[in-house]
Amino acid sequence: MSDPAGIYIHIPFCLSRCHYCNFATGGYQPELVRRYLSALEKEIERSASSSDRGNSMKSVDTVYFGGGTPTTLTIEQFSSLITLCRRYFELAPDFEMTSEANPGSISRDYLQDLRAIGVNRLSFGVQSFDDGELQMIGRTHTADEARAAIKAARAAGFDNVSLDLIAGLPEQKLETWRMNLAEAFTLAPDHLSVYLLELYQDAPLLHRIERGELRAIDDELTVEMYFMLMDEAEKEGYEHYEISNWARPGFASKHNLKYWTGAPYWAFGVSAAGYDGRSRWSNTRNIHEYLERIDRGCSPVADSVDLDYDDRQSENLFLRLRLKEGVNLREHRERFGVDVTDRYQAELSRLRYADLIEMVEDNLVISRKGKVLANEVFAAFV
C-alpha cells in the first residue's frame, strides 16, 4: 500500500503583483477565473480517471491551495473545488487542507466560511512587519492588517496558522529583522516559513537595485539574519524541521513534508508540479496555453521526466538532507542498495572537513553552518 498522496491546486490570480514575485500569477478577472475553474475541473477529472495514477494515488490526506492568492476566489468557487477533490479522491478523515492567504484582502466572515467548507490550515504571506519594507516590495497590506488577519483567523476557528517572512530584503538591517521576528513570535503562529530573498531577472525590485535606488544587503548579513532566526525560534519552542520551516510540536506541514520525503502528490493548474513516485511533471506556466490545451482535450503538462532508480536514490539524499533528521543511512541502503559512505566517500569527507554535514547516530544531517550553504551540500549528491 503506497503512502497517501497530496493534492496541490494552483490559483494564479492576485490583486496586484509584488515587486519580487516570480510565481505564475496574474490579475484577477472574473471571466478568466470562471474559465480557469472550469478547466481545472476537467483537468482533475481526467487525471483522476487515468488508470495508472488514478488508482495508485486515489487516497489523499493533504490538499494545498497555492498561488497566486487562492483567497481571491469566492467561497462558492472555493467550495466547488473542494467538492471536486472529494468527488474524485478518497480524503483521509484526518486530512490537512491548507490555503495560502493574503492578509490585506480577507474578512472575518470569509475566514469563517473557509473554515466551514473544510480548510483547516492557513498560510499567510506576511513577509514583513515593517510598513516601509512592505511598501518597497509591493505588498498590498500593512503590518497592522497582517496582525488583524492572523487574529481574525484564530477567531474564525483556525488552530493551524502559518506565516511567511522574507529575510534579506534590500536595505534591511539586523535590527529590523529582529523586530520582524519578535512581531511574528508575538502572534504565536503554529508554523513559520522564512525565505531568503531571491530576485529573478525581470523583478522590478532587482531593477531598482541595478539603478542604485536600493542597496542589496551582503551575504554575511543575510547569514547573520538566518542564525538569529534559528536561535530565536528555538528559544520560542519551535522545531526547525526543514531548512526554511519551523513549527510548534505537531504542526509541521504534512503537505510540504511530502515534497521532501518522496511521497506522491497531484498537481493541478497553471505551473503546478507533481510527482507519482516514478515521474515528475509540471504544467505550462501560461494561463492562456493552459486553457487552450484543456479545451482541446490535451494535457497541460509542459515538462515531465521519468526518474530512474539512481535518480530516486540521489533525490532521497538531497531532499531528506533538508529535514532535521536528515537521511537514515541504514534505511537508505535497504531501500536503494546504496552504501552512501562508500559511494560518496570523497564528497562526504570534503563536506565533513568543511563542517557542513555531520553524523548523528545512523543519520547523515546537515550542520548549522551547512544550512546556510545548503545548495553546496545538495550539489554533492546530484
Cα–Cα distance, 198 to 168 (Å, whole number): 9
Cα–Cα distance, 152 to 349 (Å, whole number): 51
Among 5, 9, 11, 14, binds ligand SF4 (CB under 6 A): 14
The residue among 14 and 134 lying less far from ligand SF4, judged by its C-beta, is 14
Backbone angles phi, psi at 326, to 5 degrees: 65, -150
125 lies in the binding site for ligand SF4 (CB under 6 A): yes
CB of 19 to ligand SF4, least distance (A): 9
What pairing do the DSSP bridges indicate for beta strands 279-283 and 26-27? unpaired
Among 11, 61, 65, 69, binds ligand SF4 (CB under 6 A): 69
CB of 77 to ligand SF4, least distance (A): 17
CB of 67 to ligand SF4, least distance (A): 5
CB of 69 to ligand SF4, least distance (A): 5
The residue among 14 and 194 lying less far from ligand SF4, judged by its C-beta, is 14
166 lies in the binding site for ligand SF4 (CB under 6 A): no
17 lies in the binding site for ligand SF4 (CB under 6 A): yes
Cα–Cα distance, 342 to 339 (Å, whole number): 5
Alpha helices in the chain (DSSP H): 30-49, 51-56, 75-88, 108-116, 131-136, 143-155, 174-186, 204-210, 219-235, 254-261, 287-295, 309-320, 329-336, 340-343, 345-353, 368-372, 374-379
The residue among 124 and 246 lying less far from ligand SF4, judged by its C-beta, is 124
Contact 256, 242 (CB under 8 A): yes
Binding map of ligand SF4 across residues 219-258, x = CB under 6 A, - = no contact? ----------------------------------------
Cell numbers for 369: 553552518
Cell numbers for 227: 542564525
The residue among 21 and 214 lying less far from ligand SF4, judged by its C-beta, is 21
Among 72, 102, 244, 271, binds ligand SF4 (CB under 6 A): 102
Say whether the peptide bond before residue 68 is cis (omega within 30 degrees of 0).
yes
68 lies in the binding site for ligand SF4 (CB under 6 A): yes
Stretch that binds ligand SF4, among 19-27, 35-43, 315-323, 361-369 (CB under 6 A): 19-27
108 lies in the binding site for ligand SF4 (CB under 6 A): no
CB of 164 to ligand SF4, least distance (A): 9
Contact 238, 249 (CB under 8 A): no
Secondary structure of residue 198 in the 3-state scheme: coil
Cell numbers for 67: 498561488
> Considering CB under 6 A, how many residues would be counted as binding ligand SF4?
11
Alpha helices in 137-241 (DSSP H): 143-155, 174-186, 204-210, 219-235
316 lies in the binding site for ligand SF4 (CB under 6 A): no
Stretch that binds ligand SF4, among 20-28, 39-47, 183-191, 209-217 (CB under 6 A): 20-28
**Given the rule CB under 6 A, which residues bind ligand SF4?**
14, 17-18, 21, 23, 25, 67-69, 102, 125
